[in-house]
Amino acid sequence: MIEGKALITGVGISDCGRRLGRDPWSLTAQAALAAIADAGLTPAEIDGVSTYPGALASTPGMSGAGADDMRSLLGLNLRWYNGASELPGQLGAIVTAMAAIGAGLANHVLCFRTVWESSAQTQIGSRSETMRSGVQRERSQWIDPIGASHSTYGGLTMQRYMYESGTTREQIGQIAVVARANAALNPAAVYRDPMSLDDYLASRMISDPLCLYDCDVPMDGSVAFIVSRADLVNDAKRGINIAAIGSAPGFDEAAAMMWSRTDLKPADVDMAQLYDGFSVLTLRWMEALGLCPRNEGGRFIEGGHRIARDGELPLNTNGGQLSGGRMHGFGALHEACVQLRGEAGERQVPKRPQVTAVSSGAEAFTSCLLLTL
Amino acid sequence: MSDMQRVAPPLTTRTADFWRSGADGVLRIAHCRACNFYMHPPQPLCRRCHSTDVGFDPVSGKGTVHSFTINRYQWKPGMPPPYVIADVELEEQAGLFVQTNIVGVAVEDVAIGMKVAVEFEQAEEAFIPVFRP
Ligand SMILES: [Zn+2]
């Protein structure tokens, strides 16, 4: 087991926002240096780098800073590095760092995710235009002739989920409404203005029944972590323990793997930071992780009280990707660490969480982590 | 949707026979002749029995709407919204889905469970399968 052999010892985040006009390297360096300092380390002690998706296989805006770029930029002396887009979800970059540490390949691994999609869309073109080459062309033959897009996936998923579970838009809307309320307390969130359920229901349709507020928002920013060999950590007080990993393809498969690697149970989870590229995906994750019964997600979140900051299962407490901005699971992991440490300031969950579930991705591109103090 | 100016798909080794199939009005799906298993998108190897005896064989072209969405955004210059994109489950095999457009019906009248049948719209050398109630 690689769990228990590695801790998250440092977290860092860059300036975040819409169209910052900053280049991805400087964003990454800002987050990375913050994380290294937070871990009480110096760049000279970092001997591993792990990132999703890496610079080479990426599309403009979705990365832009690779593992080797950071070696060069920060002058790191590496023993191991990895940048890859074919991972078990974006958080697979953390899983591979843990595996490298468990195998003795590295002691302190810098993990990061950088997006500058918001600026790239201004400078280069829309997402659909920036994904037009090589492998993407092979895949897009199933999408382009019928005029589909990423939001098509969200709409089809949401429609079928509502049909099978009897969930209403009023219920699903609470994912977005609660996220917005949380974002109001997060200075780094993109959208912080108050939003009611009526606002949600009145927002324009993108791909019925998927509306604007069901979709996460492109942004610029970088999040970094230091994953360290546990027996090298002197001040373990601030280290976050990764109690279990789920890295299998599929919501249910990743969740089952995670629970098979710990004695903890879904009932022990007292906070959740779950992927919300589309709001319905958060419900899929809640159910897969056993945080509510199958097909009961809509009824569980109805009214929003149970998933509010002071509810039984605080959810996406930084505003998630819907209001906070699209950091592809790394924003969720950052928020989980900050909350577990009790360092979330104004948005700190009143009853400090002890066990947190974090997830990223959808369908066959999924990973989840169970974090404990 | 006959006025749609569709983006033609690339006719790759793996998929050219699929995209050309509609020239005679017949939908053909990648089919394992060893174990009678259909696969879409097509694969050159059967994922169930791993036989390489896979080819494009005719299917009925009849199916059921498994899920659908009304697209409201103009992603392609030649495709003005709204239009319906759906996962159609073909009657030949449970779980055999084709992602497609539903045509010939008002977008608000499409429903999960609706029975549909294939027809084709040409884009350059390709024939795009779409479905009509
Ligand atoms: Zn077969």
How far is the alpha carbon of B9 from chain A, nearest alpha carbon, in Å? 5
Omega cis (within 30) before A145 = no
Q: What is the pLDDT of residue A138?
A: 74
Question: Residue A69: which CATH number?
Answer: 3.40.47.10
Considering only residues 49 to 78 of chain B, which have any Cβ-Cβ distance to chain A shorter than 8 Å? 66-73, 75-76
Q: Are A62 and A181 part of one and the same domain? A: no
Looking at the domain assignment, is residue A341 inside a domain? yes
Size of interface A-B (CB pairs under 8 A): 90
Q: Quote the strand ranges of chain A, DSSP E.
A: 6-13, 48-51, 80-83, 108-116, 205-208, 210-211, 220-229, 240-246, 271-273, 355-362, 365-372
Looking at the structure, do residues A156 and A46 belong to the same domain, yes or no? no
How large is the ipTM?
0.97
Same-domain check for residues A155 and A270: yes
- Taking residues A156-179, what's their average pLDDT? 98
Lowest mean pLDDT among A131-135, A145-149, A164-168: A131-135
Predicted pLDDT of residue A128: 46
In which band, very low, low, confident or very high, does the pLDDT at A131 lie, cut at 50, 70 and 90? very low
Q: What tokens were used for B129? A: 């399968």
Whether residue A128 lies inside any domain: the answer is no
Provide mean pLDDT across the span B41-67.
96
A191 and A316 fall within a common domain: yes
A164 and A44 in a single domain? The answer is: no
Q: How many domains does chain A have?
A: 2
Q: Report how far Cα A122 is from the mean position of its chain's Cα atoms.
A: 24
pLDDT of residue A367: 97
Residue A115: pLDDT band with limits 50, 70, 90? confident
Does residue A296 share a domain with residue A267?
Answer: yes
Mean pLDDT for chain A overall: 93
Q: Are residue A62 and residue A179 in the same domain, yes or no? A: no
CA distances from A57 to A65, A312, B100 (A): 11, 41, 28
Q: Is position A163 within any domain?
A: yes
In a domain, A131, yes or no: no
In which band, very low, low, confident or very high, does the pLDDT at B1 lie, cut at 50, 70 and 90?
Answer: low
| Model pTM score | 0.95
Q: Are residues A196 and A260 in the same domain?
A: yes
Q: Could you read off the pLDDT of A309-318 as tens digits, one per residue?
A: 999 999 999 9
Binary contact (A205, B86; C-beta < 8 A):
no
Residues A230 and A191 occupy one common structural domain = no
Domain housing A334: 149-217+243-372
* Per-residue confidence (pLDDT) for residue A10, from 0 to 100: 97
Asked if residue A311 and residue A183 are part of one domain, the reply reads: yes
User: Is residue A55, in this structure, part of any structural domain at all?
Assistant: yes
- Going from the Cα of B38 to the center of ligand 1, the distance in angstroms, rounded, reads 8
pLDDT band at residue A270 under the 50/70/90 scheme: very high
Q: Do A138 and B10 touch (CB under 8 A)?
A: yes
Determine the pLDDT at residue A130.
44
DSSP codes, chain B: -TT--PPPPP--TTTHHHHHGGGGT--EEEEETTTTEEESS--SS-TTT--S-EEEEE---EEEEEEEEEE-S--STT-PSPEEEEEEEETTSTT-EEEEEE-SS-GGG--TT-EEEEEEEEETTEEEEEEE-
pLDDT of residue A122: 64
pLDDT of residue A60 exceeding 70, the answer is no
* A355 part of a folded domain: yes
Whether the CA torsion A319, A322, A323, A329 is positive or negative: it is: positive
Residue B2's pLDDT is 59
Closest by alpha carbon to A330, among A199, A216, A231, A182? A216
Determine contact: A350 vs chain B, CB below 8 A: no
Same-domain status, A153 and A227? no
Q: Confirm whether A43 is domain-assigned.
A: yes
pLDDT of residue A226: 98
Residue A143 lies in a domain: no
Residue B90: per-residue pLDDT: 98
Pair A186, A273 in one domain: yes
Chain A residues inside the 8 Å CB shell of B67: 156-157, 159-160, 163
> Closest approach of chain B CAs to the CA of A293, in angstroms?
23
